[in-house]
Amino acid sequence: MHRLLPLIIATLTCLQPLAALASDERVKITRDLGSVEVVHEGKPVTVQRNQDAANTIHPKFQRTSRSCPPFCVQPMKIAEGVETIGELGMLDYLKRVSEGDDSVLVIDSRGPDWVKHGTIPGSINIHYKKLNRRSAEDDEIARLLEEFGVERSGEFWNYRWAKTLVFFCNGMWCGQSPTNIKSLLRIGYPPSKLKWYRGGMQSWETLGLTTVQPD
């Protein structure tokens, strides 16, 4: 038996990296989904949950209480016909965008003071004020609508080829993405082409999902 001991020790030593790898893969998104590959600003990013069991939520999202108004709890359904989605729905849209589906845009509605702390990979940032007629000129809104695939037909807009827009902001207490959605609905954007990730960055961070910061 003593002659086999060195061999057993050597074998166990070789298996240690494999054991560590298996341990690293335990924190999956779902039982069958470990990660999703997306593209953010032209660079590949792997979206997965943080593998460190001691990881904690970003300090920016630790606060439970903010003054209401304006930081009031948003309803589950923001408007008739607009779908509220969760993390798996968001990941599906991010995957579609990264695979070249140009009929979808994932939009972070927050300002740069929040975006600098991290955003969802695969999203683009359009400050909510740029789609609000109270704070943006009609020409600026028109340019964004054209980026969304909306065509001008005389004095009217043709939404036939409008992109599906997936909005998010800081979470269920944040009114920025709801403001975007309501502004677009008022000017005729089809509700079926508007999606809302209500949990936003609060939920994304709570689940330890990958974020990216602007360069």
CB atoms near residue 109 (< 10 Å): 27
* C-alpha 128, offset from chain centre: 15
User: Is 180 within the bounds of a domain?
Assistant: yes
> What span, in angstroms and rounded, lies between the C-alpha atoms of 48 and 51?
8
What's the rounded mean pLDDT across residues 116-143? 91
Specify the pTM.
Answer: 0.86
Residue span of the structural domain in which 186 resides = 29-206
CB atoms near residue 199 (< 10 Å): 20
Residue type, 150: V
Average model confidence (pLDDT) for the chain?
Answer: 88
Continuous segment of H or E residues that includes residue 177: helix 176-186
pLDDT at 168 over 70: yes
What's the rounded mean pLDDT across residues 179-203? 96
pLDDT at 212 over 70: yes
User: Is 22 within the bounds of a domain?
Assistant: no
pLDDT confidence of residue 9: 40
What's the rounded mean pLDDT across residues 19-39? 78
Cβ-based neighbours of 112, under 8 Å, separated by 6 or more? 125, 127, 214
If one counts the domains in the chain, the total is 1
Q: Which CATH number covers residue 177?
A: 3.40.250.10
